[in-house]
Structure 1
Amino acid sequence: MKTWLLIHGAWHGSWCWDQVRLRLEHVGDRVITPTLRGLGERADQMSRTITLQAWVDEVAHLMTSHAMTDTIVVGHSFAGSVVSGLAEAVPERIQRLIYLDAMLLEGGETVFSSIDADIVATRRERSMASSGGLSMPAPEPEGLGIRDPREAEYVKRRLTPHPFSTYESPLALEKPPGDGFPCTYVACTDPAYQPLWGSRERAKAYGWDYREIATGHDLMITDPAGTVDLLVMIAQQD
């Protein structure tokens, strides 16, 4: 039996992993899918005080309280930064790190410092217009690589605004991300999610195990079976 920690990205919640979680549990694995504060069913906890470190701390606490060991930690999109933080916060509880089309930051960087300036400017404008800078409104599902109308409707009903403060708070790392752990980066290619271009190139430069999957950015929605097959294949390396 393997233990999985699946962490969702921006605008999402634990709901996005439902089809992946069920498939992994079907083969007897233990799967934990937390919702980060301020998102999903915890949207009422939205606050300007939420930072990357706050999310790292809360998930580290969850891993400790659930006595998680030999954990395969998987982060999608924005949650790549949380995965990197966990590797330093609770290394004794982790077996492997998997970044699913995810942000790959180094110590002291912010999400905004790692993406194109024009994308940053657009997101600032949208945040100010919608909430006075409190949160980032969710994009249309098509922007996340979701083409199927039924999948798009399912996702659109569930996306929630994302705490804007987490885009500007730095990731605290003393070592390179993933240092000391086997790391895999999975890039979604059909279509590719442009804001993550730099993270993909960084993963290649690190010499990490690098995989591609021919589906959209929200791979757990658009291809849950393929996502599980890939996760299981990666985990079998250990």
Structure 2
Amino acid sequence: MAGMLMAAARAGARVVDGVELVLWPDSDAVQYYGITEPEDVEWMWDKLTPHPWKCFEQPLRLNDPAALARIPRAEIHTTSSLAMAPPGTADALAGQEQTWVVDSGHDLMVTTPKAVAEILLGLAVR
């Protein structure tokens, strides 16, 4: 599924100032983000921008495992992303410290803002 979304995004790519951009704001893009409430769609519409393709294509290389291990980590997953993850991913995350699963689409800060705020506030007081 994710591969199909990326292929569709790449098919609509345009180059602006030498940067290949994808996910241009349109009605299909809003679907990918999991936004379904009309008032949420209206609120976010003028905030959408295209996305640089290279972020999907260029791997992030972290060369200092010790430094990486010192960075505090928290993970918030959505049910929509877990639905596209390899089998067993949700089970592997269950019970892990600093890991949450929110019943939402990709833009959980729009669709479930209270849940996101509670998680972030909880992290802030630690």
Q: TM-score, normalised by structure 1?
A: 0.40
Q: Distance in 2 between matches of 1:116 and 1:152?
A: 22
State the match for 2:4 in structure 1. Answer: 118
User: How far apart are the structure 2 equivalents of 1:196 and 1:175?
Assistant: 30
2:101 aligned partner: 212
The answer on whether the counterparts of 2:82 and 2:89 sit within 8 Å (CA) in structure 1 is: no
Q: Is the 8 A contact 2:2 2:84 kept in 1?
A: no
Give the drift of 1:121.
2.4
* Distance change >3 Å, CA 211–CA 146, structure 1 → 2: same
- Cα deviation, residue 116, structure 1: 4.5
Report the equivalent of 1:171. Answer: 60
Are the counterparts in 1 of residues 62 and 68 from structure 2 also a CA contact under 8 Å? Answer: no
Match of 1:154 in 2: 43
Q: Is residue 20 of structure 2 the alignment partner of residue 134 of structure 1?
A: yes
Q: Give the Å deviation of 1:194.
A: 6.2
* Structure 1: gaps spanning 5 or more residues: 1-114
1:50-199 matches, cutoff 5 A: 116-127=2-13, 131-132=14-15, 134-136=20-22, 137-138=24-25, 139-175=28-64, 178-189=68-79, 192-193=80-81, 197=85
RMSD of the TM alignment (CA)?
3.3
Letter in 2 for 1:225: K
Q: Secondary structure at the match of 1:183?
A: coil
Change (3 A) 1:194 1:140: farther
Give the equivalent residue in structure 2 for 1:74. Answer: none
Is 2:77–2:100's contact at 8 Å kept on the other side of the alignment?
yes
The letter for the 2-side match of 1:120 is M
Q: Give the direction of change, closer, same or farther, for the CA distance of 1:120–1:214 in structure 2 (3 Å limit).
A: closer
Which residue is equivalent to 1:227? Answer: 116
| Aligned-pair CA distance for 1:184 | 1.4
Aligned CA distance change for structure 1 residues 155 and 178 (closer, same or farther; 3 Å): farther
Q: Is the 8 A contact 1:144 1:193 kept in 2?
A: no
**Cα deviations across residues 58-105 of structure 1 (Å, max 9, x unaligned)?**
xxxxxxxxxxxxxxxxxxxxxxxxxxxxxxxxxxxxxxxxxxxxxxxx
C-alpha distance in structure 1 between counterparts of 2:38 and 2:114, whole Å: 19
Evaluate the alpha carbon distance shift between residue 145 and residue 159 of structure 1 in structure 2; reply closer, same or farther with a 3 A threshold: same
The runs of 5 or more residues in structure 2 that have no matched partner are none
Q: Report how many aligned residue pairs link the two structures.
A: 116
Overall identity of the aligned pairs, in %: 24
User: How far apart, CA to CA, are the structure 2 residues paired with 1:144 and 1:116?
Assistant: 13
Question: Which stretch of the first structure deviates more once superposed, 222-231 or 208-217?
Answer: 208-217
Letter in 2 for 1:144: Y
Q: What whole-Å deviation, never above 9, does each CA across 1:195-218 have from its counterpart, x for those lacking one?
A: 9626x94984xx553211223321
Which amino acid is the alignment partner of residue 184 of structure 1?
Answer: A
